[in-house]
Amino acid sequence: MTAPDLPPSRRRFLTYLVATPTLALAVNAGLLEEPAGAVIPTPPQVAELEDLGDFLIQAGKPTEGKLIVLDVSTAGKVTCALPREEVGQGITTAVAMIIADEMDVPLSDVTVTLADARPELLFNQLTGGSNTIRSVFEPTRQAAATAKARLVAAAAQRTGVPQSRLQVLDGIVVGGGHTIPIGELSAAAASPQLKVAQPTPKDPATYRLVGRPQNRKDAREMVTGQFKYTNDHEPVKGLLRAMVRRPPTINATVKAIQNEAAIRAMPGIRGIHVIQTGVAVLADTFGQALDAKEALEVTWNAGTVDDQNDETVKQALRQVNLPMTPALGTVVEGEFDFAFANHAPMETNTAIADMTANGGTVWAGMKSPIVAAQTIEDDLGLPRGSVTAHVVQGGGSFGRRLFFDAALEAARISRAAGKPVKLMWTRVDDMRHGRARAASHHLVQASIIAGEVVALQHHVASIETDFRHGLGEVLTATGTQLGNPDIIPVSAGGNASFSQSVFATTITSPYNFGATSQLLNESSLKFHTGSFRSVYSANTRGAEEIIVDEIAKALGQDPVAFRLAHLKDPRYVAVLTTCAELGEWGKKLAAGFAQGIGFHAEYKSCTACLVEMDARNPKNPRVTAAAIVADYGLPINPRGAESQLLGGLTDAIGTTLRAGLHIDKGLALEGSYSQFHFPRQKDSPREVKIHIMPATTGAPGGGGELGLPAAVGAVANAYARATGTAPRSFPIIFPVDFTPFTKNTGSTRVQPR
Amino acid sequence: MPTYSFMLNGEQVQVDAPGDLSVLWALRDKLGVTGPKYGCGINVCKACTSHLDGKAFNPCVTNVRDVAGREVTTIEGLAKGDALHPVQEAWLEQDVAQCGFCQPGQIMAAVALLRRTPNPTDADIDAIENVCRCGSYFRIRQAIKAAAAKMAEPTVVAVQDPAAVSEGGGSSLAATGLGVDVAALGAAALGAAALVTRALDTADVAPAEG
């Protein structure tokens, strides 16, 4: 619900807070004099004014003009090498839709591929922050409109028919009795002498493809096994398979190899090299490399977190979290813990590298390929521009491929061996030595006076999330350009300032809860971390959605009605209302079953999620049904948006109920999907209804991460209502119900039945 | 090094490899068949799911010597030329794939399920253990149900002009996933219309798994 009109005194109060949005809570006594029952508005927070995506767009502005390059072949095929990474989020299909719609060509004639690293794009080749469509929508429209205008101008020149009487229909220029396929005009349209009318992109309201469900363009290759991921490519002859024996603890280094001669004598083994991260084994097949890697006997130096375990991590987080300001009135509060969570994309870390003393080439799924190439150059002492980075579509990411660990490691091995290599991490290594969402600790406290929430404080403590993949530099650059240290605090320096910037530009509360403050503090324990889908929002907003339910309960109000009365924006209200209807909120359920609701807004989009849970056995709950509604401002491909929401729901079911990592002696105990309990079919709802709202703003909001935080709230709230408990530690069901692997793999061969 | 020969997607192949090399790496690194994916290597993610003598198996934990003389079908061998298997069609219609990495295994698991259980219940579908990290499970469930319906219903195929069919105009036929030789159907000169009842790719139906 929108904020009511306010007396002038209140407005002045609000203005004051806008200028200092991240200050610790200072409840103005004046608030106490407000009439009871009036919703206390919350002033705009940083992320509502300028979110992370806005800063990424800002950083990309200087290079926007050359971001999108379209090519029209003489056969009339349109291609665009997108300087972003596709990992399943559907951006190549969405961008093809925008191009086809803007140019009036058949979608089947448009192909969107992935561009190699283009260093001239500076900050504008980073795939993150749910920002691809937001950042490429306008440049793509402009490029496509320009291409179409030039094709029409070329047709006018050829036929003598004025441009105003020509139009493009399904890839053919039509008018004045002429029909010319655009391919025939491609060469003439490239002439610099051509007189072109000022191209104007279409009014989005007139789009015919954009906004309508479209299935993925690359799906046929996927379902026939023809689609090639990094490991399926053989771009150079004589690629040796490489695997790395990794240490028993995180960041430990090799002291000595005990049985090198025996390993070299194993079948198919072509080389052994000690590198920074372990012992690399080269072989003819990955099967042989795996056997040799397991057979290696290695002694190790200490790692960086060898003395850490679940309890020490929890203590470290409590030590860095700031105490709360004493609350006023009635207090609803909670203290939450979230475990580490592995990204666990199906395709493990994989890369191909072909390096020489002068430079070389890498192939991998990379969301920050410019930084990847430059890091490899620096690491190997190579000149700038000597490494070519080919971006390969990835088998999942969820944030993981922001880091290019595999490409760097493969380059090091190739350089050491003097041979081209294809590197693959085992699942066990990927889970234990790869990256994870950082464990976090949350203190949330709501102050209620005269039946209204007057303040919400949320203090987050997290193990440091590593942003050293180029995102931090983007924020530093834009923060400097904008000259606004209040919005982007760059003074702290290093990764800590990146973390603060990301937190401030992504975390916001969608509710009018009076004075709202959300603060982050990090522990610098040296685990391997990285942005995980929704970065801070999944845990931070997830915990808040649980507290929102508890506030409603304390006030004797229905969770949906309470949210509706406090949401800041009419778009939010419409989404939640629609979701409650779609999911039949409030319907009668048997004992042990319950519904749960969650809401979240980020990156100019918003969503509500309603789940039904069967928790008759509290140790074995199952989400049985879900209803999700989302407003993307301007949805590009509702079908793809639904996929992302479904994925966010599954991530939420996993990380809320069962999927997390236990830390013991500095290493994750979990080593595969049999131990890290990411949902399978049996854990997934049998009924899912998803509704995408029609366009509301005319500009696309973020979509890749939106679905997770609301679903975390919905799943946790359903569990709470079904079991009568107050969940505080996640995942909720988190026993060590397996025997941890003692080696780096748990290789077991079975006889076929 | 020993040589093992087996049928792979309808063709006899030979591979020089140690007998204990897993079939996954024999396929991927020796034979260049990359549809089956590595996701765990220990038969818990099921991304490599393929068929051995028509039944689901996991190449990552099967030694190459154990498939000698037998018939291996990977995702690449499921379609008949351009005619997709009904399960693959259903996967496209439901837009199941996100990153797509697990989908070859998911599809091969679904085909194996539908061979054993042509009309699977939700509980039968729940028993498929293949991990989809993108979380597309609900669409997988819908696709399996849609494929079961496709494979169960008798299909009426009207062939109005055999000549048009033989020229490739019979896309509706090709799209049924029957694996029927369209040109041969046309050549059979069935006249104005022909009724074809869908046989569930009878050629490679295997006995139910024990």
Domain presence at residue B206: no
Q: Measured between alpha carbons, how far is A561 from A1 in angstroms, rounded to an integer?
A: 11
Please tell me if the domain spanning A239-304+347-432 has the same topology as the one spanning A436-730: yes
Do strands A360-364 and A350-355 pair parallel, antiparallel, or not at all (unpaired)? antiparallel
* CATH code, domain with B64: 3.10.20.30
Above 80 in pLDDT, residue A128?
A: yes
Are residues B67 and B9 part of one domain?
A: yes
Nearest Cα to B148, choosing from B117, B193, B170? B117
Q: What is the pTM of this model?
A: 0.89
pLDDT in tens, B56-70: 999 999 999 999 999
C-alpha R_g of chain B: 18
The reported pLDDT for the residue numbered A324 is: 87
Q: Which residues pair with A461 in a beta bridge?
A: A441, A521
Above 70 in pLDDT, residue B75?
A: yes
Q: Percent of chain B beyond pLDDT 70? A: 73
Residues near B109 by beta carbon (within 8 Å), at least 6 away in sequence? B46, B49, B56, B128, B130
- Inter-chain contact A286–B38, Cβ cutoff 8 Å? yes
Are residues B54 and B35 part of one domain?
A: yes
Are residues B170 and B116 part of one domain?
A: no
The full length of chain A comes to 753
Domain presence at residue B32: yes
A436-730 belongs to CATH 3.30.365.10: yes
Domain presence at residue B18: yes
Find the domain containing B97 and state its range: 86-152
Q: How do the domains of chain A map onto residue ranges?
A: 53-222, 239-304+347-432, 436-730
What's the mean pLDDT in A54-61?
Answer: 83
Above 50 in pLDDT, residue A97?
A: yes
* Among the partner residues A87, A681, A753, nearest to B137 by beta-carbon distance: A681
Which residue intervals of A117-271 are DSSP H helices? Answer: 132-159, 182-189, 219-223, 260-264
Q: What is the dihedral of CA A105, A108, A110, A114, to 10 degrees?
A: 160
Residues of A in contact with B1 (CB under 8 A): 267
* CATH code, domain with B117: 1.10.150.120
Are residues B90 and B70 part of one domain?
A: no
What's the mean pLDDT in A675-698?
Answer: 97
Number of domains present in the structure of chain B: 3
Residues 675-704 of A with CB under 8 A from B: 678-682, 684-688
- Closest Cα in chain A to B70: A752
Residues of B in contact with A223 (CB under 8 A): 75, 84, 88, 91-92, 96-97, 100, 103-104, 107
Above 50 in pLDDT, residue B175?
A: no
What's the mean pLDDT in A251-269?
Answer: 96
What's the mean pLDDT in B182-206?
Answer: 34
Residues of A in contact with B76 (CB under 8 A): 224-226
**In what helix (H) or strand (E) does residue A242 lie, and over which residues does it extend?**
strand A240-245
Query: Counting Cβ atoms within 10 Å, is residue A33 exposed (0-12), middle (13-18) or buried (19+)?
Result: exposed
Q: Measured between alpha carbons, how far is A282 from A279 in angstroms, rounded to an integer?
A: 10
Residue with the bigger pLDDT between B76 and A505: it is: B76
CA distance B45 to chain A (A): 6
Q: Looking up tokens 């989404």, which residue turns up?
A: A575
pLDDT in tens, A183-199: 999 999 998 888 887 78
pLDDT in tens, A306-336: 999 999 999 999 999 988 888 889 999 999 9
Cis ω before A119 (30° cut-off from 0): no
Are residues B109 and B68 part of one domain?
A: no
Amino acid of residue A295: A
- Inter-chain contact B28–A231, Cβ cutoff 8 Å? yes
Q: Which of A65-79, A405-419, B68-82, B162-176 is predicted with the least confidence, judged by mean pLDDT?
A: B162-176
What's the mean pLDDT in A576-591?
Answer: 98
Q: Is B64's Cβ below 8 Å from some Cβ in A?
A: no
Residues of A in contact with B209 (CB under 8 A): 753
DSSP class of B203: G
Above 80 in pLDDT, residue B195?
A: no
* Among the partner residues A87, A682, A751, nearest to B99 by beta-carbon distance: A87
- Inter-chain contact B137–A227, Cβ cutoff 8 Å? no
Above 60 in pLDDT, residue A415?
A: yes
Q: Measured between alpha carbons, how far is A347 from B74 in angstroms, rounded to an integer?
A: 18
C-alpha pair distances (Å), A226 with each of A218, A219, A339, A351, B34:
10, 10, 38, 19, 8
Q: Which of A56-65, A561-570, B32-41 is predicted with the least confidence, judged by mean pLDDT?
A: A56-65
Which residue intervals of A351-470 are DSSP H helices? Answer: 369-379, 405-417, 427-432
Q: Measured between alpha carbons, how far is A568 from A606 in angstroms, rounded to an integer?
A: 12
CB atoms within 10 A of CB B2: 12
Domain presence at residue B205: no
Above 50 in pLDDT, residue A556?
A: yes
In order, the DSSP letters of A189-212 are HT-TT-------PPPGGG-SSTTS
Are residues B124 and B104 part of one domain?
A: yes
Q: Measured between alpha carbons, how far is A269 from A263 in angstroms, rounded to an integer?
A: 8
What's the mean pLDDT in A85-94?
Answer: 98
Q: How confident is the model at residue B205 (pLDDT cuts 50, 70, 90)?
A: very low
What's the mean pLDDT in A602-613?
Answer: 98
DSSP class of A679: -
Residues 14-43 of B with CB under 8 A from A: 17-18, 20-22, 24-26, 28-30, 32, 34-43
Q: Measured between alpha carbons, how far is A661 from A677 in angstroms, rounded to an integer?
A: 9
- At the topology level, CATH places domain A239-304+347-432 in Aldehyde Oxidoreductase; domain 4 (3.30.365)
The reported pLDDT for the residue numbered A744 is: 53
Q: Which of A36-50, A203-217, B137-151 is predicted with the least confidence, judged by mean pLDDT?
A: A36-50
Angle, CA A695 vertex, CA A693 and CA A699 arms, to 5°: 130
Above 90 in pLDDT, residue B189?
A: no
What's the mean pLDDT in A605-630?
Answer: 98
Domain presence at residue B157: no
Q: Is A368 helix (H, G, I), strand (E, B) or coil?
A: coil
A53-222 belongs to CATH 3.40.640.10: no
Above 70 in pLDDT, residue A645?
A: yes
Exposure string (b/e) for B123-136, b if CB count within 10 Å is 16 or more?
A: eebbebbbbbbbbb
- The mean predicted confidence, pLDDT, of chain A is 90
CA distance B62 to chain A (A): 6
Q: Measured between alpha carbons, how far is A61 from A617 in angstroms, rounded to an integer?
A: 54
Above 80 in pLDDT, residue B77?
A: yes
Q: Is A565 helix (H, G, I), strand (E, B) or coil?
A: helix
The reported pLDDT for the residue numbered A196 is: 87
Q: Measured between alpha carbons, how far is B80 from B85 in angstroms, rounded to an integer?
A: 7
Above 70 in pLDDT, residue A33?
A: no
The reported pLDDT for the residue numbered A476 is: 66
- Closest Cα in chain A to B80: A224
The reported pLDDT for the residue numbered A170 is: 97
Cβ atoms A506, A47 nearer than 8 A: yes
Q: Measured between alpha carbons, how far is A679 from B45 in angstroms, rounded to an integer?
A: 11
The reported pLDDT for the residue numbered A5 is: 36
Above 90 in pLDDT, residue A40?
A: no
Amino acid of residue A511: Y
The reported pLDDT for the residue numbered B176 is: 35
The reported pLDDT for the residue numbered A472 is: 73
Q: How confident is the model at residue A514 (pLDDT cuts 50, 70, 90)?
A: very high
